[in-house]
């Protein structure tokens, strides 16, 4: 492998879940990775303040804190709890130096998707002052429609664009994840629209394995499945995005292998297929 350009490579801590935050920081840094997106679980053992110190002295760019959201609920009291929890996550994001909090928006199967979407929009709008006070942006991540039952009522980039444009705040934008939107008709145009409106905050990469054995925990490395990652990255960059390419892979298969070898594979796949 000839001197790969890793200047835009970010890895989500969940991708190398068996590693502690400390190990992830050490291994990513040694491998030349420049960015890290930090999952809530990764900072549990030491708390946000200590995690923030570790991250700021590491030299890695903290790209996102993952993940908030889950706004819809049948009961107002539960929706209020979700707001409070998201405020806490925004505080933690600020403490670890993350400029954005990724939102898995949520869905409530006991009500219509339209009602869930209205609750999501309202929840995000309620959080804006707290996001601004912390200097942390909110990234709506549209999820593949197979998750429309309980994980997200925002299932296309088109629908995420509609919501971000309706909210119309510099603190609210979108995380585009190839796993969730690769199939979407008109994706190129929606990515362009997202960029033109200033809403393209983040770009997540992995692949869709054929066949996929588990619809949560069997994501593939770039190049291993059917997602045209390079092409989508080209669209994202043409839309004006110059941020990190975030490798986010949940995979029992990869978590089960030696994480040093897996990291080498991630870097090779990033170099060759994205």
Q: Is 204 in the site for Zn ion (CB under 5 A)?
A: yes
Give me the residues paired with residue 252 across strands: none
CA atoms lying within 13 Å on the CB side of residue 203: 25
Identify which of 169, 188, 178 has the alpha carbon closest to the alpha carbon of residue 235: 188
Contact in structure between 174 and 141 (CB atoms under 8 Å): yes
Count of positions on this chain that bind Zn ion (CB under 5 A): 3
Question: Residue holding tokens 């809530």?
Answer: 40
Residues 124-183 contacting Zn ion, CB under 5 A: 177
- Least distance in angstroms from the C-beta of 100 to Zn ion: 12
Q: By CB under 5 A, tell whether 207 contacts Zn ion.
A: no
Give the whole-angstrom CA distance, residue 73 versus residue 153. 12
Query: Which of 248, 251, 259, 262 touches Zn ion (CB under 5 A)?
Result: 248
- CB closer to Zn ion out of 42 and 79: 42
178 vs 239, which CB is nearer to Zn ion? Answer: 178
- Backbone dihedral angles phi then psi of residue 10, each to the nearest 5 degrees: -125, 145
Stretch of residues binding Zn ion (CB under 5 A), selected from 18-26, 76-84, 223-231, 245-253: 245-253
**Shortest separation between residue 175's beta carbon and Zn ion, angstroms:** 6
Q: In angstroms, what CA-CA distances link 78 with 58, 74, 81, 114?
A: 38, 8, 5, 18
**What residues from 39 to 58 belong to the interface with Zn ion (CB under 5 A)?**
none
Q: Are 128 and 90 in contact (CB under 8 A)?
A: no
* Residue with token string 């934008």: 173
CB of 20 to Zn ion, least distance (A): 22
My answer on whether omega of the bond before 16 falls inside 30° of 0, hence cis, is no
Cβ at position 105, least distance to Zn ion in Å? 12
For residues 108 and 141, which CB has a smaller minimum distance to Zn ion in the complex? 141
Nearer of residues 177 and 207 to Zn ion, judged by Cβ: 177
Q: Is 184 in the site for Zn ion (CB under 5 A)?
A: no
Q: Do 139 and 101 contact (CB within 8 A), yes or no?
A: yes
| E-only strand ranges, the chain | 9-12, 35-39, 61-69, 100-104, 137-140, 172-177, 200-205, 245-247
Q: Cβ of residue 204: shortest distance to Zn ion, in angstroms?
A: 4
Question: Least distance in Å: CB of 248 to Zn ion?
Answer: 5
Q: Do the beta carbons of residue 249 and residue 217 sit within 8 Å?
A: no
CB closer to Zn ion out of 79 and 208: 208
Q: Could you say which residues in the range 76-115 bind Zn ion, by CB under 5 A?
A: none
Shortest distance, position 129 Cβ to Zn ion, whole Å:
26
Residues 6+ apart with CB under 8 A from 231: none
Candidates 15-23, 202-210, 219-227, 228-236; binding stretch for Zn ion (CB under 5 A): 202-210
Residue among 167 and 205 whose Cβ is closer to Zn ion: 205
State the residues that interact with Zn ion by CB under 5 A: 177, 204, 248
């Amino acid at each position: 492998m000839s001197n790969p350009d890793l200047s835009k490579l970010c890895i989500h801590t969940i991708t190398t879940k068996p590693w502690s935050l400390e190990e992830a920081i050490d291994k990513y840094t040694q491998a030349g990775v420049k960015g890290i997106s930090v999952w809530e679980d990764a900072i549990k053992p030491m708390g946000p303040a200590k995690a923030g110190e570790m991250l700021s002295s590491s030299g890695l760019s903290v790209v996102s804190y993952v993940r908030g959201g889950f706004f819809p609920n049948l009961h107002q009291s539960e929706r209020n709890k979700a707001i409070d929890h998201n405020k806490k996550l925004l505080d933690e994001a600020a403490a670890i130096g993350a400029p954005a909090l990724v939102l898995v928006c949520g869905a409530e199967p006991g009500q219509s998707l339209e009602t869930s979407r209205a609750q999501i929009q309202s929840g995000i709008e309620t959080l804006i002052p707290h996001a601004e006070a912390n200097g942390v942006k909110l990234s709506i991540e549209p999820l593949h429609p197979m998750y429309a039952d309980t994980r997200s009522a925002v299932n296309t980039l088109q629908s995420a664009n509609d919501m971000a444009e309706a909210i119309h705040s510099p603190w609210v934008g979108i995380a585009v994840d190839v796993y969730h939107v690769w199939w979407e008709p008109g994706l190129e145009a929606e990515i362009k629209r997202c960029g033109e409106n200033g809403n393209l905050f983040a770009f997540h990469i992995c692949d869709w394995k054929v066949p996929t054995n588990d619809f949560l925990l069997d994501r593939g490395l770039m190049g291993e499945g059917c997602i045209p990652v390079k092409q989508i990255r080209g669209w994202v960059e043409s839309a004006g995005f110059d941020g990190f390419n975030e490798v986010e892979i949940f995979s029992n298969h990869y978590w089960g292998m030696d994480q040093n070898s897996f990291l080498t594979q991630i870097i090779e796949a990033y170099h060759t297929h994205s």
